[in-house]
Amino acid sequence: MFDSELSIHCIHSMYSGINISQTDARPMYLQIMEQIRARIVAGDWPSGKELPSIRALAAALSVSVITIKRAYLDLESEGVIVTRHGKGSFVADVNGLAGELQEEKLDEHLAAAAGIGQQLGLTEEELATRLRRALRNLDRK
Amino acid sequence: MTQTKLIEMRNVRKAFRFFTLEDLSLDLEPGQIMGFVGPNGAGKSTTIHLMTGLLTPDAGEIRVLGHAMPEAQALAKRDIGFVSDQMRLFGHATFGWHMKFVSSIYPGWDAQYAKTLVKRFNLRPEQNVRSLSSGEHVKAVLLLALARRPRLLILDEPTSGLDPVARHELLTEFMDVLRHEDRSILFSSHNTVDVERISDRITFIDRGRMVDSSDKEDFLERWRRVQLQLPAGATLPDLPHIVSRVDDGQFVTITTNRYSEDLLAFLGNGVRQVQRMSLEEIFVANVMYHRELRGQ
Amino acid sequence: MNMLARKLIERDFYLNRWLIGGSTLAGIAGLIIAAEGAMRFNIGMLLWLTAIVAFSAMLVMFSVSTERKERALQFVLSLPLSSGDYVRIKVLGLLLCFLVPWSLLTAGAIGLVLVMPNLPDGLLPFAVLLCGFMLANFSVVLSGALHNAADGFTTFLMIVHNTSITLFIFLVGAMPSLHEHLRSPVPVWNSTFWTVLAIELATLVVTLSLPYFVAARRRDFI
């Protein structure tokens, strides 16, 4: 295991961008999954890249091993990463995975918007108008 | 990798004049951190003293690192780092003397790591132990334990009285220990935030009895607070796994320790909000619930 | 364990270094004064006696009170030793601390009797018994204080310890079978001598093994 030879502070600095907050409403394992997914989607963690071992990441983030394990298991069931027994976990080599994840995210946001729209009592047309307005604002920026 | 549990307690009983530890069973697997949580006087220190051979049980079995306790404690303690916030070093000596003392007794002493920790914990070897603040004292004792790289760390309130920076440093070192899958830590603490963050398993103890013991993620998934708004005149159906219920007019807040999608469906349209619970909230609710069950 | 025992005993010596050194010097000074003979002999021997008896009492008192003040017991018990080991090491450590001045001063007193022409060798048996008594006296107090370190009890022990030396000198010194040979030029090792010596040895063995047996059965160390 290459990770165990590195000092704890070396590992810390490698993963210092990943921040787990205990005051965040979302559970720790979800935060970890999101941050890993974000890096994969952005391309910082390309297909085939080896993920840190569960224990190394746990030590780097000062988060329990069981939480990291859970995050990795769920990421694997989503198909985002692949675990090879005895070898480690790797970013899944699936084309268009980034795009898939982004589309899932879009659907989530749209569902939330639809829910709020309903609460406000907006009609389908009113909601669509607002979406178009948001797109135009993006273009201007 | 060895599969023997690092700590095994079976139906341990220890009676004192005003307090009895009853029927306590506990297991610590290798590569695991167990958080030991309970109110003051629940029996955490007593349990820890039983594990380290300072007390002899009245009934039951205790094995630590495979050794029967307290009979084989001299052997077991070679690979156990025991630190309690009540522990004090020899007043006449410097911290450096203690490092030499410990390093000469334990073959596993890592001098390089010790040097790193001295800097990280901001301690001075030439300083006399008597002049250390209580927080510095605890850090000193912890350093002496950590630098030996023992297989098992048993810690009784290791971060009590420490400033947030020191706590953060310590948690980092504890997690570093866990990079090895054959090393484990058992620590008792009132700091539920830290326990929630780094523990793999959590054991709750109250009034001499073990109340609950499970994986941390399991606790966090099973416990929920559900807020409902019931229309006038409606009543809730009889529900299993409801630990507590608070009524406030139309609004009802229930706490459950077995949350599931089915339960949510069962509760129907009145559900306004489902809240996760922090470990501290789970701890309090769990203890209160079990006291009620025991008629206390 | 042996390295650990050595380190802990070294620590005992270090903690008591002033007592050991001071009492040894005081005792030697007493012997030197006593060598001058006549009145100086009485003063010198009194100093020699006081040095050993006071050292005996202070060694135990100091160790017991230091232990209680320091609260380092939990730390020591976290080391790789059993509670029985701990008691054994304590007894051995303090005994060795006592033996250093005691054996030097005993040898000094015997040497003084043998060398000085004005001191009849008949004094030897009594001198040996006196030294043996002080060793046995120490082990009784050590054993008692290890068993019960409470203030009241240790004070009682000290009173017994300090007054018993006077009792010994008067009672045993007055025994006719010993007394009549004090001034003889040749030492007389009669049955009285051997009996008293045997009692002293037995006391030594019993009191020094007692803490160990008691500790071995003790279940709670905290």
Chain B contacts in chain C segment 77-116 (CB below 8 A): 77-83, 85
Residue C212 burial (CB < 10 Å; 0-12/13-18/19+)? Answer: middle
Q: Which residues of B touch A62 (CB under 8 A)?
A: 168, 171-172, 175, 197-198
Give the pLDDT score at C188.
86
Q: In this predicted model, what pLDDT tens digit does every residue of B78-91 receive, in sequence order?
A: 999 999 998 999 98
Closest-CA distance of chain B to residue A88, Å? 15
Give the tens place of pLDDT for each residue, B5-28. Answer: 999 999 999 999 999 999 999 999
Q: For position A2, what pLDDT does the model report?
A: 40
User: Which of B74, B104, B105 minimises the CB distance to C85?
Assistant: B74
B237 CA: distance to closest CA in chain C (Å): 52
In angstroms, the separation between the Cα of residue C221 and the nearest Cα of chain B is 5
Residues of C in contact with B56 (CB under 8 A): 219-220
Q: Write down the mean pLDDT value for chain B.
A: 93
The pLDDT, as a whole number, for residue A96 is: 61
Sheet strands side by side (includes B242-248): B242-248, B251-256, B224-229, B271-276
The chain A residue lying nearest B221, using CA atoms, is A27
How many whole angstroms from its chain centre is CA B6? 15
B144 Cβ contact partners less than 8 Å away, ≥ 6 residues apart: B98, B99, B102
User: Of the candidates B52, B91, B92, which has its C-beta nearest C78's C-beta?
Assistant: B52
Q: What is the pLDDT of residue B239?
A: 80
Between C150 and A28, the more confident residue is A28
Residue B263 pLDDT grade (very low, low, confident, very high; cuts 50, 70, 90): confident
- When mean pLDDT is compared across A67-76, A99-108, B90-99, the lowest value belongs to A99-108
Q: By the 8 A CB rule, do C101 and C52 touch? A: yes
Average pLDDT of the residues in A93-108? 72
Residue corresponding to tokens 């068993």: C147
Residue range B33-48: mean pLDDT, rounded = 95
Tokens of C23: 């009492």
Percent helix, percent strand, percent coil in chain A, to nearest 5:
65, 5, 30
Nearest neighbour of B216 by CB, restricted to A3, A4, A66: A66
Of C78, C83, C85, the CB nearest to B82: C78
Residue B193 to residue A22, Cβ atoms within 8 A: yes
- pLDDT for B40 equals 92
Total count of residues recorded for chain A: 141
Write out chain B residues lying below 8 Å of C69, CB-based. 91
B13 interfaces chain C, CB cutoff of 8 Å? no
Tell me: the pLDDT tens digits for C158-192? 999 999 999 999 988 888 888 888 888 888 888 88
| Residue B70 to residue C83, Cβ atoms within 8 A | yes
CA–CA dist B201, B219 (Å, integer)? 9
pLDDT digits (tens, 9 = 90+) for A3-33: 445 666 777 777 878 889 999 889 999 999 9
User: Does C222 contact B55 at a Cβ distance shorter than 8 Å?
Assistant: yes
User: Which residue among A59, A62, A67 places its CB closest to the CB of B217?
Assistant: A67
State yes or no: pLDDT of B217 exceeds 80. yes
Nearest CB to B90; choose among C1, C70, C77 = C70
* CA–CA dist B79, B7 (Å, integer): 12
Cβ of B82 under 8 Å from any chain C Cβ?
Answer: yes
A19 lies within 8 A of chain B by CB? no
Residue of B nearest to C71 (CA): B88
As a whole-number percent, the residues of chain C with pLDDT over 90 amount to 59
Residue with tokens 């049980």: B57
User: Cα–Cα distance between A102 and B132 in angstroms, integer?
Assistant: 55
Chain A: residue whose CA lies nearest to B279: A22
For residue C196, the model assigns a pLDDT of: 92
- Does B233 score more than 80 pLDDT? no
What is the tens place of the pLDDT at every residue in B111-139?
999 999 999 999 999 999 999 998 999 99
Q: Which residue has the higher pLDDT, C149 or A120?
A: A120
Distance in angstroms (rounded) separating the CA atoms of residues A81 and A37: 9
State the residue for tokens 């406000």. A120
The arithmetic mean of pLDDT across residues C143-170, rounded, is 89
- The answer to which of A107-116, B15-24, C70-79, C211-220 has the lowest mean pLDDT is C211-220
Q: At residue B188, what are phi and psi to the nearest 5 degrees? A: -100, 140
pLDDT tens digits for B164-200?
999 999 999 999 999 998 999 999 998 999 999 999 9
Residues with Cβ within 8 Å of B220's Cβ and at least 6 positions away in sequence, in order, are A27, B196, B276, B277, B279, B282
Chain B CB contacts of C82 under 8 Å are 53, 70, 73-74
Categorize the per-residue pLDDT at B1 as very low, low, confident or very high, splitting at 50, 70 and 90.
Answer: very low
Q: What is the pLDDT of residue B2?
A: 52
Q: What residues are paired with B188 via a beta bridge?
A: B36, B156
A65 in contact with chain B, both atoms CB, cutoff 8 A: yes
pLDDT of amino acid C195: 93
pLDDT surpassing 60 at residue A139? yes
* Residue among B16, B26, B15 nearest B61 (CA): B26
* CA terminus-to-terminus distance, chain A: 47
Q: Angle C124-C127-C128 (CA atoms, 0-180°, nearest 5)?
A: 85
| Whether the predicted pLDDT of B281 surpasses 90 | yes
Q: In what order do the strands lie in the sheet with B209-215?
A: B80-84, B152-156, B184-188, B33-37, B201-206, B209-215
Q: Which residue of A has its CA nearest to B184?
A: A65
pLDDT of C66 over the 90 cut: no
Q: Please tell me which residue of chain B has the smallest CA distance to C79.
A: B77
Q: Which residues contact B124 (CB under 8 A, 6 or more apart)?
A: B95, B118
| Least confidently predicted of B41-55, C5-19, C86-100, C204-218 | C204-218
Plot region of C83 (φ>0 → left; ψ -120 to 50 → alpha; else → beta): alpha
| Separation between Cα atoms, residue C48 and residue C134, nearest integer Å | 12
End-to-end CA distance of chain C: 22
| pLDDT at residue A1 in the model | 38
